[in-house]
Amino acid sequence: MKGMKALATVALLSLTAAPPAKAQTPLTEGIQIGLSTDAVSITAGFSGADLTIFGSLENPDPLVARQGRYDVIVVLEGPPKPVVVRRKDRVLGVWINLDSETFENVPVSYSVATTRPLQDITEPNSYKQLSLGASNLYMQPADAGDSPATIEEFTAALRERKAAAGLYSENVGGVQFLSQNLFRATVRLAPNVPVGTHKARAFLFKSGLFIKESSAQLEIRKSGFEQSIFRVAHDYSFLYGVFAISLAMVTGWLGRLVFRKD
């Protein structure tokens, strides 16, 4: 017991001794990102947009920076939601939804911006460890009892469908260094970008090694008239229904008055 305690004290001592030692070797790099706003509003005309995220490297090694060996990957990840993936099969000539697989906590959207193609930045294994990139996101099946082959098939389909809907996207070259320290990332917001709290994350790599991560939150919400309609439809659904009916009746009556032909 006594020996253990002594060891622990030594470990503590070495920790407190670390800062002076650090001052002699080059400072470790860090990364920071900043959003100009913590909320983005979607209005009626929203047909997708590019979101620009600025960030900076802390203590970059000028030599490494000149050689372009710093890489940055920025991810904008939508709120996690459960998703049902269904597969159509032919039954008596008709295509119907037969098999399905439910996944928990699937990010509704996942936009990636990188300095270079993903495969040039680092090894596939480090992406897996970081769970970075749409193809490395772990999709957790609700029913783990299904065969791995089935789960794999539906996971692939889920990624493919998300990419086809523009919700999972990759913008190679979307991160550009403006100076040695400053970079700008452009991530794509799909026209059907989900509302909710999105998480922006930036990953710094140096010569293929992961150094640091930084994150920020971004609220995406609907604004204006559409948002009011949406809220009323959900919060006061009965009144909303009555309003929809009245609107239809008045429109029908006015239409008759204005356009009558008999």
Partner 1 sequence: MGIYLPIAEISVNVFVLLAMGAAVGFLSGMFGVGGGFLITPLLIFYNIPPAIAVATGANQVIASSVSGVLSHMKRGTLDFKLGGVLLAGGIVGSTAGIYVFGFLRRLGQLDLFISLLYVVLLGTVGGLMLVESISALRATRSGAAPVLKKSGQHNWIHRLPLKMRFRASKLFVSVIPVLGLGAGIGFLSSIMGVGGGFIMVPALIYLLKVPTNVVIGTSLFQIIFTSAYTTLVHATTNQTVDVMLAFLLMAGGVAGAQYGAKAGQRLRGEQLRALLALLVLAVAIRLAIDLFVTPPNLYSLSGLGLN
Per-residue binding letters, 99-118, with partner 1 (x by CB under 8 A): -x-x----------------
> Least separation, in Å, of the C-beta of 251 and partner 1?
4
> SS3 of 242, please?
helix
Q: Give the one residue of 13, 17, 18, 84 binding partner 1; rule: CB under 8 A.
A: 84
Q: Considering only residues 28, 97, 129, 179, which one is a binding residue for partner 1 as defined by CB under 8 A?
A: 97
For residue 132, the Cα-to-chain-centroid distance in whole angstroms is 10
The three state secondary structure string of 30-42 is EEEEECCCCEEEE
Tokens of 250: 């008045």
Smallest distance, partner 1 to C-beta of residue 136, A: 19
The shares of helix, strand and coil residues in the chain, as percent rounded to the nearest 5, are: 35, 40, 25
What's at 136, amino acid-wise?
N
Rounded CA separation 137/152 (Å)? 12
Q: Does 244 contact partner 1 by CB under 8 A?
A: yes
Is 54 a residue that touches partner 1 (CB under 8 A)? no
> Which residue, among 205, 183, 186, 166, has the nearest Cα to 78 in the 3D structure?
166
Residue (59 or 251) nearer to partner 1, CB? 251
Q: Does 262 bind partner 1 (CB under 8 A)?
A: yes
- Build a one-symbol-per-residue string for 11-50: x at contacts with partner 1 by CB under 8 A, - elsewhere: -------------------------------xxxxxx---
Q: Are 70 and 205 in contact (CB under 8 A)?
A: yes
Q: Which residues bind partner 1 (CB under 8 A)?
A: 42-47, 81-89, 93-97, 100, 102, 154, 157-158, 160-162, 164-165, 191-192, 222, 225-227, 229-230, 233-234, 237-238, 240-245, 247-249, 251-256, 258-262
